[in-house]
């Protein structure tokens, strides 16, 4: 019998229908993938399963018994734990404190037994081959990928029968993503149920036994993974056929250098990066995570400090703050890594998020031209198919992928023509990914210059004109033309090569 059975689940947020009669059924021992567009209701569904949200209607049976958890503790009591898409870690606590939060081993004085806790952490890390992270570091000092790994550890530490992974791979670099996939497989083979949400078809293919597809808050179908094609799944997800994911290659790069970077360093992460980004070019950035990519993007945008010379459209510049970087059409705009920290004002509306950074464009003598603002906001939302009820919906209540699109839109509304895209398609569904790539190509052909980092190798290979691979804070290789393959990028990222 299936351990989880869901019938006709509904959930509304005010006027917004998030779940509209979803059905679902899964058994122990399988990896069950959940697919669907941004805003299809996947996260809402698993939040209900894991006790973070109440549902309005429908039935859930766990072990054949009625199930309606009012909080995450009750869900755990029935063996269900989730790794949330918007992580649940506490920034001011250490890694180990987060992993064992509220379940710390205690001494006879009722105080936390720190050495025991450390021991347990190391055992957990060892048993499941976790990538190494110092257990005493504060979570606020971790990178997004590291946080994601800690969040997985936190879920596993509860030893659940049912583990839910909501886009847990989306923030991970390739090697860690592979690790997590095999971990999910191992857990299923141990007899647990893993519910796995991802927008990457390759990952789903690699580990899923069955696949359920959500669209607009209800279930379209459940398949045996072996018996269904990618095309069919994608068609069910987006309700139409996807013409193509990657845009046609066009060489739109001119000889004019938009961004020239020399001896760019900020030890220990950045140790002298040199490159030219040309007008009309999409320059990919690759390499293993933690080799300076993030620091390079942050520093170019003026959010971090670095030494070296940067020339923008022929003029030497030195940005100390993002505000300087953003000013005017000669500026630089960034899609940052951490959408909840840096990217979005979570408590403000979509409209405000899009227009606040460029509010000066709509004001004249201190008066706001609301019509012009509304028009531009509407246009941006449409061109990125941002799924929000109205422009006034609060950004924090959008689905993960749609938040990412708002950040992208925000950057488009600035007039900067040098764009730094740090993993811009993280958590974005296939349909919209295609549209974003299309848009990048179109912008390039209009003379924009784009620096594009992606944790997903196929994206780099298929979208970038050239790929620069960073290793230890330096450009290890610049790949061009036919050299741009997944193997070459990996090779350059790992081994010393002729260009080094």
Partner 1 sequence: MNSSSKQLQSAQSMNMQSRLLAHAPFLVACSMLVVIVAIYGSLQTGVFTIDEINLNTAAAMTLMLAATGQTIVLLRGGIDLSIGGMISLGTVIAATRFGDDPANILLWSGIILAIGFGIGALTGLLISVLRLQPFLVTLAGWSILNGIALMILPTDGGKVPEWWIGSGYLEFLGLGTPVWILLALIVFWCWFRATRLCTIIKATGSSEKSAFLSGVSITRINIITYGLSGFFAALASLYLTTQIGGGSPNIGTDYILPSVAAAIIGGVSLFGGRGHLFGTIVGAYILTLIGNLVFVLRVSSYWQPVMSGVILLLAVLASSYAEQKARKRGS
The structure tokens listed for 35 are 């697919």
- Smallest Cα–Cα separation from 431: which of 104, 221, 213, 122? 213
Nearer to partner 1, 51 or 284 (CB): 51
Residues near ligand ATP (CB under 6 A): 13, 16, 18, 36, 38-44, 85, 387, 397-402, 427, 429
Please answer whether residues 393 and 354 qualify as being in contact, where contact means their C-beta atoms are separated by less than 8 angstroms. no
> Site for partner 1 (CB under 8 A): how many residues?
39
Nearer to Mg ion, 47 or 355 (CB): 47
Q: Does residue number 43 form part of the binding site for Mg ion (CB under 5 A)?
A: yes
Only one of the segments 9-17, 56-64, 316-324, 400-408 lies at the binding site for Mg ion (rule: CB under 5 A); that segment is: 400-408
Phi, psi for 175 (deg, rounded to 5): -65, -40
Nearer to ligand ATP, 18 or 259 (CB): 18
x/- map, 247-276, partner 1, by CB under 8 A: --------------------xx--------
Only one of the segments 38-46, 201-209, 334-342, 435-443 lies at the binding site for partner 1 (rule: CB under 8 A); that segment is: 334-342
- Smallest Cα–Cα separation from 294: which of 336, 258, 325? 336
Q: Does residue number 76 form part of the binding site for partner 1 (CB under 8 A)?
A: yes
Among 400, 431, 434, 473, binds Mg ion (CB under 5 A): 400
Q: Does residue number 134 form part of the binding site for partner 1 (CB under 8 A)?
A: yes
Q: Does residue number 73 form part of the binding site for partner 1 (CB under 8 A)?
A: yes
Find the radius of gyration of the CA atoms of the chain: 23
Sequence-separated (6 or more) residues with CB below 8 Å from residue 57: 8, 9, 10
In what order do the strands lie in the sheet containing 270-278? 270-278, 257-266, 307-312, 315-317
Nearer to partner 1, 151 or 456 (CB): 151
> H or E segment at 413?
helix 400-413
Residue 36 interacts with, from Mg ion, partner 1, ligand ATP, none (CB under 5-8 Å by kind): ligand ATP
**Which residues of the chain form contacts with partner 1 (CB under 8 A)?**
51-52, 71-73, 76, 84, 87-93, 97, 101-102, 104, 106, 109-112, 114, 134, 137-138, 140-142, 154, 267-268, 304-305, 338, 341-342, 472
């Amino acid at each position: 019998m299936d351990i989880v059975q869901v019938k006709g689940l509904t959930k509304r947020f005010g006027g917004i229908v998030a779940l509209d009669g979803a059905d679902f059924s899964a058994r122990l021992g399988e990896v069950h993938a959940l697919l669907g567009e941004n805003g299809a209701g996947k996260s809402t569904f698993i939040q209900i399963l894991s006790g973070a949200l109440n549902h309005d209607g429908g039935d859930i049976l766990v072990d054949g018994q009625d199930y309606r958890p009012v909080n995450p503790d009750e869900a755990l009591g029935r063996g269900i734990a989730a790794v949330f898409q918007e992580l649940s870690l506490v920034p001011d606590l250490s890694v180990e404190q987060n992993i064992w939060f509220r379940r710390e081993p205690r001494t006879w004085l009722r105080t936390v037994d720190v050495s025991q806790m450390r021991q347990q952490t190391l055992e957990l890390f060892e048993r499941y081959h976790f990538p190494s992270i110092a257990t005493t570091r504060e979570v606020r000092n971790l990178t997004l990928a590291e946080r994601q790994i800690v969040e997985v550890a936190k879920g596993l530490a509860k030893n659940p029968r049912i583990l839910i992974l909501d886009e847990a791979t989306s923030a991970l670099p390739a090697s860690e993503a592979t690790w997590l996939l095999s971990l999910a497989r191992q857990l299923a083979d141990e007899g647990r149920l893993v519910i796995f949400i991802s927008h990457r078809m390759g990952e789903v293919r690699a580990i899923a036994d069955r696949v359920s597809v959500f669209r607009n808050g209800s279930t379209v179908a459940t398949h045996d993974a072996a018996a269904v094609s990618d095309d069919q799944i994608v068609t069910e997800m987006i309700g139409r056929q996807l013409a193509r994911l990657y845009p046609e290659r066009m060489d739109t790069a001119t000889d004019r250098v938009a961004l020239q970077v020399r001896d760019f360093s900020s030890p220990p992460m950045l140790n002298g990066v040199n490159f030219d980004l040309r007008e009309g070019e999409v320059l990919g950035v690759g390499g293993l995570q933690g080799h300076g990519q993030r620091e390079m993007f942050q520093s170019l945008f003026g959010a971090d400090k670095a030494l070296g010379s940067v020339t923008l459209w022929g003029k030497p510049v030195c940005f100390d703050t993002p505000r300087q970087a953003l000013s005017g059409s000669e500026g630089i705009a960034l899609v940052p890594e951490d959408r909840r920290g840096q990217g979005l004002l979570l408590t403000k509306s979509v409209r405000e998020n899009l227009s606040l950074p460029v509010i000066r464009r709509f004001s004249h003598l201190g008066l706001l031209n609301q019509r012009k603002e509304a028009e531009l906001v509407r246009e941006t939302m449409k061109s990125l198919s941002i799924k929000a009820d109205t422009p006034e919906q609060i950004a924090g209540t959008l689905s993960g992928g749609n938040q990412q699109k708002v950040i992208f839109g925000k950057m488009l509304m600035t007039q900067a023509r040098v764009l730094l895209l740090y993993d811009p398609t993280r958590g974005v569904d296939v349909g919209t990914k295609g549209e974003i790539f299309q848009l990048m190509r179109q912008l390039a052909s209009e003379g924009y210059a784009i620096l594009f980092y992606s944790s997903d190798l196929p994206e780099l290979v298929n979208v970038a004109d050239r790929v620069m691979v960073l290793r230890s804070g330096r450009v290890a290789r610049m790949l061009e033309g036919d050299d741009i393959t997944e193997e070459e990028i990996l090779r350059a990222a790992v081994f010393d090569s002729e260009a080094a």
